[in-house]
């Protein structure tokens, strides 16, 4: 290979590398936006359940208590139905 071919090949590889860096950066931004959106949604659920005035320790303790019961499929089904009813009936606070 001639010197010119090697320089051109190196240039193309650098361009690919830069495109990959840009793609990675845009993926990181999208992941951060998705995470932020999810955190906002979770905050909205706390508000809809009228738990926004709870002490942070009490709220976390309650959530941990729920987490312990996640393997109980019957309980999960009850919660899914209750949540669906609350969303559809507008019983909870509006976001």
Residue 54 lies in a domain: yes
3-state helix, strand, coil in the chain (%, to 5): 80, 0, 20
Does 94 map to a domain? Answer: no
Look at residue 8 in the predicted model and tell me its pLDDT. Answer: 93
Q: How many domains are there within the chain?
A: 1
Q: Does a structural domain hold residue 93?
A: no
**Residue 77 scores a pLDDT above 90:** yes
Task: Tell me whether residue 13 is in a domain.
Answer: yes
**Looking at the domain assignment, is residue 95 inside a domain?**
no
In a domain, 84, yes or no: yes
Q: What range does the domain containing 7 cover?
A: 3-88
Rounded to an integer, what distance in angstroms lies between the CA atom of residue 12 and that of residue 6?
10
Q: Evaluate if residue 58 carries a pLDDT over 50.
A: yes
- 38 lies in a domain? yes
- For residue 64, is it within any domain? yes
Query: With 50 as the cut, is the pLDDT of residue 95 above it?
Result: no
- DSSP class of residue 92? S
| Model confidence at 81: pLDDT above 80 | yes
Q: Tell me how far apart the alpha carbons of residues 33 and 25 are, in angstroms, rounded to a whole number.
A: 12
pTM: 0.71
Torsion of CA 48, 53, 56, 58, to 10 degrees: -90
> Using one digit for the tens of pLDDT, what is the confidence trace for 7-57?
999 999 999 999 999 999 999 999 999 999 999 999 999 999 999 999 999
């Amino acid at each position: 290979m001639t010197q010119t071919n090697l320089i051109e090949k190196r240039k193309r590889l650098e361009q690919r590398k830069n495109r990959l860096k840009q793609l990675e950066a845009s993926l990181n931004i999208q992941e951060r936006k998705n995470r932020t959106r999810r955190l906002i949604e979770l905050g909205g659920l706390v508000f809809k359940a009228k738990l926004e005035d709870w002490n942070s320790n009490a709220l976390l303790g309650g959530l941990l208590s729920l987490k312990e019961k996640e393997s109980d499929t019957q309980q999960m089904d009850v919660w899914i139905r209750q949540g669906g009813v609350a969303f559809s009936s507008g019983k909870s606070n509006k976001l």
